[in-house]
Amino acid sequence: MTLDRAKEIVTNRHDYAREWKKKTGSKVMGYFCTYVPEEIVYAAGVLPIRVIGSHEAQSYTEPHIYTMFCPFSRDVLAQGLRGKYDYLDGIMIGHSCLHLRQAFGAWMTNVPASFSYYMYTPAKIQSPHAKEMMLAETTEFKKAVENWLGRPITDDALDKSIEVYNTNRRLLKQIYELRKADPPPLFGSEAIELVLSSQLSDKAEHNKLLESVLKELPQRRNGPQGGNIRLMIIGSEDDDTNFLRYVEGLGATIVADEHCTGSRYFWNETVPEKDRLRAIGNRYMNRPPCPTKDWESRRRFVHIMNMAKEYNIQGAILVQQKFCDPHEFDIPPLKALLEKNGIPSLFLEFDITVPIGQFRTRVEAFLEMLQLEVV
Amino acid sequence: MITAGIDVGSKTVKVVILQDGKILARSLVLTGFEQGKAAEEAFALALKQAGLSAKDIQKVVATGAGRTSVSFATESVSDVAADARGAVFINPNARTVIDVGAEEGRGISTDTRGKVIDFAVNERCAAGAGTFTEAMSRAIEVKLEDMGELSLKSTQEIPLNAQCAVFAESEVVSLVHAKTSKEDIARAIHDGISNRIAAMARRVGVQNDIVLIGGVARNKGFVASLKRQLEADIKIPDEPEYVGALGAAVIAAS
Amino acid sequence: MTTQVEYWRWTESRYTNPEVDWRKASTITAGIDVGSVSSKAAVMADNEILAYGLMRTGSNSPDSALNAINRAIEGTGLTMKDIKFIVGTGYGRINIPFAGKAITEIACHARGANYIWGPVVRTILDMGGQDCKAIHCDEKGKVTAFLMNDKCAAGTGRGMEVFADLLQVPITQVGEMSLQVDKEPPPVSSTCVVFAKSEGIGLLRQGWSKNMVLAAYCSAMAHRVVTLLERIGMEKEFVLTGGISKNIGVVSRLEKELGIQAVPLPKDQKFDPQLAGAIGGALFARDLLAKSRKAF
Amino acid sequence: MVTSIKKYQTRPLDSFKKAVELRKEYYQNVREAKQQGKLLITGGADSMVALPAGLGDYVFFEGEPYGATISMDPEFSGKCVEAAEAKNFARDMCAYMRNYWGSMFLNKYYFGGEFPKPDFVMQLGFCDTHAKWMQQVGEYMNAPYFGIDMPVGTPGRNVEAKVKYLTSQMNDAIEWMQKVTGRKYDDDKLREAVRNECKSSTLWSEIVCYNKAIPAPLEQRLIFTLFIICILRRYERKSVEFYETLRDEVKQRVADGIAAVATERCRLMDDSQPPWYFLQLYKYMEKYGVSVVGSHYSFFLGGSLEEMPDGSLGAPKTPDEMGMPMKTREDILRAYALWYIKKPIISQMFALPHFKSETMLRLVKEWKVNGVIFHLNRGCEGTAMGQMENRLALTKAGIPVMTYEGNMADRREFDEAQTLRRIDAFMESLGLSKLES
Ligand SMILES: Nc1ncnc2c1ncn2[C@@H]1O[C@H](COP(=O)(O)OP(=O)(O)O)[C@@H](O)[C@H]1O
Ligand SMILES: Nc1ncnc2c1ncn2[C@@H]1O[C@H](COP(=O)(O)OP(=O)(O)O)[C@@H](O)[C@H]1O
Ligand code: SF4
Ligand code: SF4
Ligand code: SF4
């Protein structure tokens, strides 16, 4: 199954990137947050890959970040400090949360790369002026990349890049569309792996992978069962597929998600316009927002509720990295909103390693709550 | 000059009598409920061993969590100061001192004279000290003294969240039922606690030589885990639990 | 330490309902709740509780489960073979070899509370050996929401036992004694279960009386669960289950802080609230058996 | 060991009382805004507080200082933070916010009466918390909310675009405010408020520069009392007057060789907000002859410093002093936007750690500081960001550094004994011992 290939990319992400580098002779750039205009990087012939968690508890970050910052940011930094990403030629971050920005700052200071860039991604995406600000920033960023590489990024290259990215988004969305069925043809853990592998690989190649997945899914025999509890997972960065597998082993299927390692990443496409950079920037301003950028009104919740309805979910697991301030703001009102709409939810706080043993009673009790009949 | 150092720990009281840089006697008794009495008892024991009487001792310095309860002490110093001085006294190259006792773990960075540059202490939580291993050894029904040896025979690494000693205990019990070997569980326990200790040590900056002291230094399994975590060699003095008391005696002499 | 009196030892017990004759019953089912501290078994003859047993949990869950069920059926003439279906619950539920199904203690406590107190119950506070749970349920005893304390087991039943032992006060009297103070002391701040002993020693060294130490510990615990209840949203029809519900020192402080009283046990009820989980398990066992019979 | 030491002359500061008075009056104004016929606006301390001035009389009720104030009262603060927790908000969120929210949820204003209901909510967002804090307030209080997004980003990059982004948002805000209040907007009043704010800020900057003197005329506890006016009331004329008087007084102190700490023999700097409920910390250090002469935080929350022709750090010029046009609304907004973009608290602390490290190194040198104490502040992820990198940078430069963990406004996360223990060890490593009292 091609799905296994996606899992393989996620598991052996460093091998993938190293091989890609060898094969193409080009550069690789690590990015820290999904609010970066990847298309520009890709158009420059550089492979953008997302730096995600390794789920190994490490003490390397202690001198650099202390315990009040989210485990994801610490996990990310630990890998940088340990040289796991020594093949990266550049790193970049978009303005999102302070936690990750601090990891980025420490990485930049302690792990030299030939290019490092902190881009301001506006937070008040609900303001029309954000698009102008974004344009100014993408323009500067493009210049910086051109300077770094010593060659211009042409409009033609941008068009191709946008096309490749849009195709990837479209294909992922098609696969997500299939998850509305009961039973869906794939597990939630597998869907997340598809998104993660997209963040970790060359999108042109990944598009082929997605196409074969789309071909294979209808014939699949060993997928989820019908009648399983339909769950949605919502929250912060979540690449812990082991945990998802555990939940799906208990008679539930995750049919939808709202994570930046899931649907938030690819949900909308770039709408082409003559000014390519504007088109690219607008896409990020219009995407399903991260909580830090969701004000004054709460558009994120509208998106979540729509999804909940369309995917016919019975319950939601709200996942949050411990100490993740952005999500700590949204979870209480979101939980209340879900409840008001008859959707029970379970809140779990993730650490670098997820102690399944500690969550066992909670998860099981939650599934019982959704399922167990009292005569 | 003859001096004495008394380290009143939460579990044990240790006394060292020192004459011109040479250790004359050592003693150890359980702290129990009355710290002051235990201190007197330990002091008397050490004096007897050294063949001295109390008035032969020119200065007594107390340290440890219960240092204020030593009525006959001339002075008291913090446990981090005593640890650093003691460690540097034994090993002049010591720059990072890690002290893991029954209820507290500490990471200390020191200068060449045994003066504390920085230190970190685990918050009042059993997950980062000797008590953790004690509780776990009970859970898997292995004698505390055997835990180290056992874990060295482990063949696989299992992540254990040493977040809370109580919850970790139930995780350990589940591991037992999942037929995980006791060797592997023992290692997971040591990995869990050493992870927290390593974090503390890194906080103050790890520099060679690293000297591990306190009762838990006797646990070979823990030492092996900590070495793996820190990716460095760790020096352990012969009598690791006496280093704090020794440091106090050294301070008394200066 | 030498084996003297073990003050933490609450009384192990058992009970047979004299009004029920199991020989007349068409099905016998049971629920076994292997908790971190205690193991409980409840046996059901058709729709009535027939007997129960309450024992200390040993280091091995299967044995503890067996002990509890044996204790429950002791003297009733029943044998294990007569029990047609068993539901295991509690933190040791996955390791009960003779249980037909494992169900969490959360579902079981709600179900059991519904049986003991009737359909009015909306909020259940289960205070046990190593954790506390706040549960909401509907009129059928079905869970609608729940919260558990996490990350830190501070201030739970096991810690109370350690204190009892240290102060040489029988656990059953801890609550009473904690109320005999002139002035309510400030709650202890860190109440790590593991360090309960050294914390207690520290307080005694500072010259606190036994009663004061107990009061400080009980009120810390009450305060912690109040926070839990506030987070899940309180409904006034609330009941207390788990071993700590027998500790009047915690319960009265809890009620005072909440400003409401827990629903008292119905007059005709003889069931120990510590058994709620096991009773819930037995009820599930009865239903599951009926369902599987229907399916054939 | 006891060392005798030379003592400097010292004397009380006249402006101290005035500062206390102005602060008290402010909180009274908040409570009585409605009776006084003033608009009540709530938002963050870092908001563009001069912006509503065009609407007429108003009081800007700032969240952070209010949270800090509450935190000094153990009982009330305890109730507040628990009220926020009862609503399922996490304990590790901004501690000022949890105190403020708690007070709102309990509907109790610390200075008596109900929690004041704002006419509208206005915020400037650059910490993850700012915008979301006030979103919750707007929803809970059923008050209209306008947030302005502060473009942080790399300092010096895209300045024109940042100015435009801010001014466009400010223009929107002005439209919006007129709509929600039904009042007409007067640019003259805006100009006046912006001038007051900028002037207060430069005066404060000038004042902290006097602390370069040995002995230091001010120490941190005093500074905390004095800088608050520049935060709470910086848009008012009263603030300017206050700082003019204070400036003259401090100048005179330096001329007379007056010390804040008579036994000053060691000068330290600290970092982040202090644990407000434990300011005795500074008193404790005084026993060792330590004068804490300031911090990145206490200098820059109200002030700003820039390089002077002689290469040293000094107070910046106000827009007027720089000769910037201030005629039209666009002029004023432009000047105001630039003022915020330049603020070191935003551009250094919230961008990337090395920007702040560089400034800290300069502060250490110019203020002749012997060591730095970092309060690893679990109550504020904003000021906590990059602290450990700052610490490493200072250590690398050979500056003695110590850290302690705490929380500026939630005392449950502060361990007094442990902190004093650390201070003792640090003092020992600096070669200091306690002085005779
Ligand atoms: N042989 C051993 N193997 C494993 N652990 C040991 C051994 N000896 C002592 N310990 C551990 O050392 C701890 C006591 O350390 P110590 O430094 O004396 O404590 P403290 O100074 O806090 O009283 C005990 O809690 C125990 O866990
Ligand atoms: N008779 C009693 N009086 C007071 N406290 C009791 C009594 N019996 C049990 N307890 C308390 O209840 C705790 C056990 O609660 P329980 O609900 O049985 O826990 P678990 O289900 O986790 O094993 C004990 O640790 C003890 O503190
Ligand atoms: S998990 Fe939360 S705090 Fe951590 S990097 Fe993501 S958004 Fe930031
Ligand atoms: S109960 Fe657990 S987490 Fe809490 S202090 Fe004790 S060992 Fe640590
Ligand atoms: S900067 Fe700190 S105090 Fe200010 S809102 Fe952010 S977290 Fe709170």
- A-to-B residue pairs, Cβ atoms closer than 8 angstroms: 33
Q: Are residues A133 and A195 in the same domain?
A: no
Cβ distance B229 to A59 less than 8 Å, yes or no, reads: yes
Residue A219 is part of which domain span? 157-374
Looking at A101, A128, A153, the residue that finishes a domain is A153
- Tens digits of per-residue pLDDT, B22-33? 898 899 999 877
Q: What would the two tokens of residue A363 be?
A: 């998860």
Position D307: which residue type?
E
**In D, residues 347-406, which contact B (CB 8 Å cutoff)?**
395, 401-403
H/E segment holding residue C120: none
Q: What is d(CA D72, CA D65) in angstroms, rounded to the nearest whole number?
A: 11
Q: Are residues A330 and A229 in the same domain?
A: yes
What are the CA-CA distances from residue D146 to residues B64, D65, D100, D179, D277 (Å)? 56, 20, 19, 12, 32
Cβ distance D428 to B116 less than 8 Å, yes or no, reads: yes
Q: What is d(CA C190, CA D417) in angstroms, rounded to the nearest whole number?
A: 14
| pLDDT for the residue A221 | 86
A129 contacts on D by Cβ (under 8 Å): 164-165, 168-169, 172
Strand order in the sheet with B210-213: B116-121, B105-110, B96-100, B210-213, B234-235
Q: Are residues A331 and A282 in the same domain?
A: yes
Q: Looking at the complex, does the CB of residue A361 fall below 8 Å from at least one CB of chain C?
A: yes
3-class state of residue B87 by DSSP:
helix
User: Domains of chain C, with CATH numbers?
Assistant: 13-118+269-294 (3.30.420.40), 123-258 (3.30.420.40)
CATH number at residue A180: 3.40.50.11900
Q: Are residues A113 and A235 in the same domain?
A: no
Going from the Cα of C155 to the center of ligand 4, the distance in angstroms, rounded, reads: 9
ipTM of the complex: 0.88
What's the Rg (C-alpha) of chain D? 21
Most informative mutation of C52, C131, C247 for ligand 2 (most atoms within 8 A of CB): C247
B102 in contact with ligand 1, CB cutoff 6 A = yes
CATH number at residue A35: 3.40.50.11890
Q: What would the two tokens of residue D348 be?
A: 């250094």
User: Domains of chain B, with CATH numbers?
Assistant: 1-91+238-254 (3.30.420.40), 92-236 (3.30.420.40)
Q: With contact defined as beta carbons under 8 Å apart, do A133 and A278 qualify?
A: no
Q: With contact defined as beta carbons under 8 Å apart, do A327 and A347 qualify?
A: no
Q: Which residue of A has its CA nearest to B174?
A: A357
B145 in contact with ligand 1, CB cutoff 6 A = yes
Going from the Cα of B179 to the center of ligand 1, the distance in angstroms, rounded, reads: 29
Q: Which of A185, A194, A187 is nearest to A247 (CA)?
A: A187
Q: What is d(CA A248, CA D425) in angstroms, rounded to the nearest whole number?
A: 53
Work out the mean pLDDT of chain A and round it to a whole number.
Answer: 94
A323 contacts on D by Cβ (under 8 Å): 90, 92
Q: What is d(CA B252, CA C2) in angstroms, rounded to the nearest whole number?
A: 38
* Predicted structure pTM score: 0.91
Q: Which residue of A has its CA nearest to B168?
A: A358
Q: What is d(CA C53, CA C73) in angstroms, rounded to the nearest whole number?
A: 8
What are the CA-CA distances from residue D211 to residues D205, D231, D253 (Å)? 10, 20, 10
What are the CA-CA distances from residue B75 to residues B6, B47, B80, B215, D424 (Å)? 10, 19, 15, 24, 15
Looking at A153, A182, A210, the residue that finishes a domain is A153
Q: Which of C276, C286, C290, C287 is nearest to C89 (CA)?
A: C276
Name which of B155-169, B206-220, D22-36, D117-131 the model is least confident about: B155-169
Percent of chain B with pLDDT over 70: 98
- Under 8 Å CB-to-CB from D56, ≥6 apart: which residues? D38, D39, D183, D186, D189
pLDDT tens for chain A, 375 residues long, are 799 999 999 999 999 999 999 999 999 999 999 999 999 999 999 999 999 988 887 888 989 998 889 999 999 999 999 999 999 999 999 999 999 999 999 999 999 889 999 999 999 999 999 999 999 999 999 999 999 999 999 999 999 999 999 999 999 999 999 999 999 999 999 999 999 999 999 999 999 999 999 999 999 988 898 889 999 999 998 888 999 999 999 999 999 999 999 999 999 999 999 999 999 999 999 999 999 999 999 999 999 999 999 999 999 999 999 999 999 999 999 999 999 999 999 999 998 887 677 788 899 999 999 987 765
Stretches in chain D below the pLDDT threshold 70 = 1-5, 437
Is beta strand B105-110 parallel, antiparallel or unpaired with respect to B96-100? antiparallel
Q: Are residues A180 and A288 in the same domain?
A: yes
CA A290 to chain centre: 11
Q: Are residues A30 and A133 in the same domain?
A: yes
Who among A358, A365, A373 is closest to C104 (CB)? Answer: A365
Q: Are residues A173 and A308 in the same domain?
A: yes
Who among C59, C151, C198 is closest to B141 (CB)? Answer: C59
| pLDDT for the residue B34 | 82
Q: What is d(CA B220, CA B209) in angstroms, rounded to the nearest whole number?
A: 18
- Tens digits of per-residue pLDDT, D38-67? 999 999 999 999 999 999 999 999 999 999
Most informative mutation of C191, C240, C274 for ligand 2 (most atoms within 8 A of CB): C274
> In this structure, what are the phi and psi dihedrals at residue A157, rounded to the nearest 5 degrees?
-65, -40
Q: Report cis status (omega within 30 of 0) of the bond before A159.
A: no
- Under 8 Å CB-to-CB from A106, ≥6 apart: which residues? A61, A64, A65, A77, A81, D353, D386, D388, D389
Q: Which residue has the higher pLDDT, D66 or B112?
A: D66
CA A119 to chain centre: 18
> How many angstroms separate the most distant Cα atoms in chain C?
69
Q: Are residues A265 and A212 in the same domain?
A: yes
Going from the Cα of A135 to the center of ligand 4, the distance in angstroms, rounded, reads: 50
| pLDDT for the residue C3 | 44
Q: Are residues A238 and A116 in the same domain?
A: no
Asked if residue B125 has pLDDT above 80, the reply is no
Q: What would the two tokens of residue A208 be?
A: 């082929």
Q: Which residues pair with C145 in a beta bridge?
A: C136
Q: With contact defined as beta carbons under 8 Å apart, do D374 and D62 qualify?
A: no
Buried b (16+ CB within 10 A) or exposed e, B53-71: eeeebebbbbbbbbbebbe
pLDDT tens for chain C, 296 residues long, are 344 567 777 778 888 888 888 888 889 999 999 998 899 999 999 888 999 999 988 877 788 999 999 999 988 888 989 999 999 999 888 888 899 999 999 999 999 999 999 999 999 999 988 888 999 999 999 999 999 876 677 778 888 888 888 888 999 999 999 999 988 888 887 667 777 777 788 888 888 889 999 999 899 889 888 888 988 888 889 999 999 999 999 999 999 999 999 998 888 777 788 999 999 999 999 999 988 887 66
D85 contacts on C by Cβ (under 8 Å): 227, 230-231
Domains contained in chain A, number: 2
Looking at A122, A153, A184, the residue that finishes a domain is A153
| pLDDT for the residue D4 | 57
Q: Are residues A225 and A300 in the same domain?
A: yes
Cβ distance B171 to A63 less than 8 Å, yes or no, reads: no
DSSP output for D352-406? -HHHHHHHHHHHHHHTT-SEEEEEEETT-HHHHTTHHHHHHHHHHTT--EEEEEE
What are the CA-CA distances from residue C40 to residues C49, C65, C160 (Å)? 13, 8, 20
3-state SS of D93-147 is CCHHHHHHHHHHHCCCCCCCCCCCCCCEEEEEECCCCHHHHHHHHHHHHCCCEEE
DSSP symbol at B124: S
Q: What is d(CA A194, CA A189) in angstroms, rounded to the nearest whole number?
A: 9
Instruction: Tell me the CB-side half-sphere exposure of residue D437, using CA atoms within 13 A.
Output: 4
Cβ distance D153 to A95 less than 8 Å, yes or no, reads: yes
Buried b (16+ CB within 10 A) or exposed e, C165-199: bbbebbbeebbebbeebeeebebbeebbbbbbbbb
Instruction: Return the partners of chain C (3 or more C-beta pairs < 8 Å).
Output: A, B, D
- Tens digits of per-residue pLDDT, A82-95? 999 999 999 999 99
Q: Report cis status (omega within 30 of 0) of the bond before D344.
A: no
Cβ distance B167 to C192 less than 8 Å, yes or no, reads: no
Q: Are residues A328 and A253 in the same domain?
A: yes
Cβ atoms within 10 A of the Cβ of D3, count? 11
Residue B246, Cβ density class (10 Å: 0-12 exposed, 13-18 middle, ≥19 buried): buried
Q: Which residues pair with D226 in a beta bridge?
A: none
Q: Are residues A326 and A248 in the same domain?
A: yes
DSSP output for D57-93? SEEEEEHHHHHHHHHTSHHHHHHHHHHHHHTT--TTS
Q: What is d(CA D386, CA A101) in angstroms, rounded to the nearest whole number?
A: 9
C227 contacts on D by Cβ (under 8 Å): 82, 85-86
| pLDDT for the residue C1 | 37
